[in-house]
Amino acid sequence: MRRGRHLPIAFKFSLLITAVLLVWTLVPMCRSAGRSPQDNRQLQRDSSQTNRASERRIALVIGNGAYTNVPPLKNPPNDATLVATTLKKLGFEVSVGMNKSQREMKQLIRSFGQRLRAGGGVGLFYFAGHGVQSKGHNYLIPVDADIQNEADVEDVGVDVNYVLNMIEDAQSALNIVILDACRNNPFARSFRSAQGGLAQVKAPTGTLIAYATAPDSTAADGDRANSPYTEELTKQMETPGVVLETMFRRVTEQVSSRTGGRQEPWVSDNHKGEFYFSSGPTNASSTTTAKIDAVAVDPQQYYARSLAHFNRGELDRALVDINKAIKLSPAFAQAYAIRAGIYHLKNNLDNAITDSSKAIDLNLNHEAPYLVRGGSYNVKGSYDQALADFNKAIQINPQSAPAYSGRGVSYSGKGDYDKAIADYTRGITLDPNEMQAYYNRGAAYFQKKNYDLALADFSKTIQLNPKLAVAYNYRALVYEKKGDMTRAEADRKKYRELYGIN
């Protein structure tokens, strides 16, 4: 990093653009695709009624906490109760098992599979308790398990593959497996391998597997009645109109934020179509890739599939589908705005600016294209043009934290740090967890030689994202200015460690 000059992190503005576009995807996109609003509402109403009539939701929830041969866990029964209650409110037929032995667990799982085979449309399995990995397999641990060595696990545990095989045989439309079972291995001393958490498992076709934390990592119960993961999971399940993939992405973001990056939930996804836990545009859409390609006449279908890819970070696939939507409907303003966001994230700034301008020319009165174009102008160093776009975005939505943060980058680029600080502060007021605004404000304070305020902002940035290497490097500069060389060197060491620099 160059010393003595504020570097507005326009590259991180891509995160704000992503957030705005993801929220925006819930807005109906009928008018610009050449369909009247009345026609679109009727289509959604008919599709929703059909799906609700045909869908059956079946769930099995198990919470094991009263272990007899290792220390008990207090949260899993609470977590299972919370999940079961939430699923019932969302229309699931729920079976619940608390503190079960291996025989009882397998019996519940067999019964779950039989119910799915009898006509289940969506199956969901949730487990909270101890889970361990051994030789590439994941095992859920019954409360009466007595594991003296690693070889015992296969005999006394319940292989997750047993669950997957049961639900795969049922041939349900969609299966969801949620494992809040990544706690510290209580039998670690008996294992030859030292690997913690659960192993990565590829989801079978038609299945999504969600883990409370990343493969080979562990998650804590927390200090509340429920684990951080289950608290956020049930909260997001009840949020209306959020597609399945986006819901789990939000869970990941919230848990990571709450734990300071120490716990990063993870998903293995291999399903098609759309599903909403709470009422959305289509409660359990049966639209699949094959059906879209077979019809190949509705830009809305390609648009929806592009958004699904976008939500998963599959930018190349999202680009292919949004191109098809635009080809079928050249006046589809929202499609140009989404494609502009994709181009910005791929660092194709000229195309991002062109598509944003096209969306604006088509009279799209929304902050998104102005944010994308302004963010792209910032990266190119065209700060006056960026300012005009962020001013327009703020005019459209005065509560837009990304607009204030983006405008702050523009002011910083022009050397007007007082205005930049005012905008970053406004962005923080609107979104107190916006890491980028803290970082950029700290950099602006640094340029004004207000090192105490800069230090506070960089420390807050690191609290929100302990893996942001550049924040440690900038905080090291602050410590140097304050004469604290010990802390400066510690931060530089952390910076080098995160960047893999020897």
Q: Which residues of the chain have pLDDT under 70?
A: 1-55, 119-120, 182-197, 199-200, 214-224, 279-298, 501-502
Return the pLDDT at 88: 93
Secondary-structure class of domain 10-28+332-499 per CATH:
mainly alpha
pLDDT tens-digit series, residues 12-27: 444 445 545 544 443 3
Strands laid side by side in the 93-98 sheet: 93-98, 57-63, 122-128, 174-180, 207-211, 266-270
Return the pLDDT at 463: 93
Return the pLDDT at 223: 58
Return the pLDDT at 34: 33
Tokens of 193: 């391998």
Return the pLDDT at 21: 54
Return the pLDDT at 307: 80
CB-based contact 298:327 (threshold 8 Å) = no
The full DSSP string for 480-502 is HHTT-HHHHHHHHHHHHHHHT--
Is 10-28+332-499's fold the same as 56-270's? no
CATH of domain 56-270: 3.40.50.1460
Q: How is the chain split into domains, by residue range? A: 10-28+332-499, 56-270
Tokens of 211: 């883990």
